[in-house]
Structure 1
Amino acid sequence: MFDPAAWIQAARPLAQINIALPLLLGQAMAFAVLGRFSVGLLYCAGVFGTLAQLVIVFVNDFADRETDAHNTTFSRFSGGSRVLPEGRLAPATLRLAALVMLAVFVLFCVVLAVVSRPWAPAFALATALLVWAYNHPPLRLAYRGHGELLQGLGIGVVLPLAGYYLQAGTLAGFVWPALVPLLLLGYVGNILTALPDAPSDRASDKRSYPVRRGQWVARRHALELLAMAAAMSSWVLPGLSLLGTALVAAPALVMAAMAVPLLGSADAENRTECERFVLLTAGAGHLLVLVWGLVLVLRGLW
Structure 2
Amino acid sequence: MRVESMSPGARWWYALKPASWPKVLVPALCGQAVGAAAAGRPSAGALAFGAAWMLADVAFVVLLNDWGDRGVDALKRRMFPHGCSPKTIPDGILPARALLLAGLGAGAAALLVAWGAGRALHRPLLLPLAVLALAVFAAYTLPPLRLNYRGGGELLEMVGVGGVLPVLHAYAQCGAVAPPWLGALLPGLLLLSLSSALASGLSDEESDRAGGKRTLTTALGNAAARRAAEALLGLGAVLWLAASALADRAPPAWSVAPAAAIALGFRARLVKKSAAAVTNAFAAQAAYKADLHRAIWWGTAALSAAVLAAGLTGRGAPR
The two structures have a TM-score, normalised by structure 1, of 0.91
Q: Kindly report which structure 2 residues correspond to 1:142-291, keeping only aligned pairs within 5 A, or say none.
A: 142-171=148-177, 173-174=179-180, 175-234=182-241, 237=244, 238=250, 240-241=252-253, 247-291=258-302
Asked if 1:32 corresponds to 2:37, the answer is: yes
Q: 1:96 aligns with which of 82, 101, 125?
A: 101
Q: Which moved more, 1:38-47 or 1:155-164?
A: 38-47
CA contact (8 A) 1:236 1:292 kept: no
The CA deviation string for residues 178-227 of structure 1, in whole angstroms up to 9 with x for no partner, is: 22111111111111221111121111011122111211111111110000
1:109 match: 114
Aligned-partner Cα distance in 2 for 1:202–1:181: 30
Shift of 1:234: 3.9
Q: Would the alpha carbon gap of residues 254 and 88 (structure 1) be closer, same or farther in structure 2, given more than 3 Å must change?
A: same
CA contact (8 A) 2:49 2:114 kept: no
CA contact (8 A) 1:231 1:245 kept: no
Q: Which moved more, 1:281-290 or 1:227-236?
A: 227-236
Tell me, which stretches of 5 or more residues in structure 1 are unaligned? none
CA contact (8 A) 1:215 1:267 kept: yes
Q: Which moved more, 1:217-226 or 1:230-239?
A: 230-239
Residue identity matched to 2:301: L
Tell me, which stretches of 5 or more residues in structure 2 are unaligned? 1-5, 245-249, 314-319
Shift of 1:2: 7.9
Shift of 1:70: 2.0
Runs of 4+ in 1 over 3 A off after TM superposition: 234-237, 243-248
The two structures have a TM-score, normalised by structure 2, of 0.86
SS in 2 for 1:118: coil
Residue identity matched to 2:31: G
Q: Would the alpha carbon gap of residues 239 and 112 (structure 1) be closer, same or farther in structure 2, given more than 3 Å must change?
A: closer
CA contact (8 A) 2:240 2:256 kept: yes
The CA deviation string for residues 5-61 of structure 1, in whole angstroms up to 9 with x for no partner, is: 111111111121111111111111122222211233212101111111111111110
Q: Would the alpha carbon gap of residues 139 and 268 (structure 1) be closer, same or farther in structure 2, given more than 3 Å must change?
A: same
Aligned residues with identical type, % of pairs = 31
Aligned-partner Cα distance in 2 for 1:122–1:81: 36
Residue identity matched to 1:169: G
Q: Would the alpha carbon gap of residues 2 and 121 (structure 1) be closer, same or farther in structure 2, given more than 3 Å must change?
A: farther
CA contact (8 A) 2:168 2:177 kept: no
CA contact (8 A) 1:60 1:80 kept: no
Q: Would the alpha carbon gap of residues 164 and 247 (structure 1) be closer, same or farther in structure 2, given more than 3 Å must change?
A: closer
CA contact (8 A) 1:157 1:183 kept: yes
SS in 1 for 2:278: coil
Q: Would the alpha carbon gap of residues 39 and 65 (structure 1) be closer, same or farther in structure 2, given more than 3 Å must change?
A: same
Shift of 1:125: 0.9
Aligned-partner Cα distance in 2 for 1:139–1:233: 33
Shift of 1:267: 2.0
1:85 match: 90
Q: Which moved more, 1:188-197 or 1:33-42?
A: 33-42
Aligned-partner Cα distance in 2 for 1:159–1:298: 21
Shift of 1:236: 6.2
2:21 match: 16
Shift of 1:232: 0.8
2:316 match: none
Q: Would the alpha carbon gap of residues 198 and 169 (structure 1) be closer, same or farther in structure 2, given more than 3 Å must change?
A: same
Q: 1:5 aligns with which of 7, 10, 21?
A: 10
Shift of 1:287: 2.0
SS in 1 for 2:276: coil
Residue identity matched to 2:163: V
CA contact (8 A) 1:60 1:135 kept: yes
The CA deviation string for residues 212-261 of structure 1, in whole angstroms up to 9 with x for no partner, is: 121111111111000000001146642645x8865542222111111112
CA contact (8 A) 2:258 2:303 kept: no
The Cα RMSD (Å) is 2.4
Q: Would the alpha carbon gap of residues 69 and 232 (structure 1) be closer, same or farther in structure 2, given more than 3 Å must change?
A: same
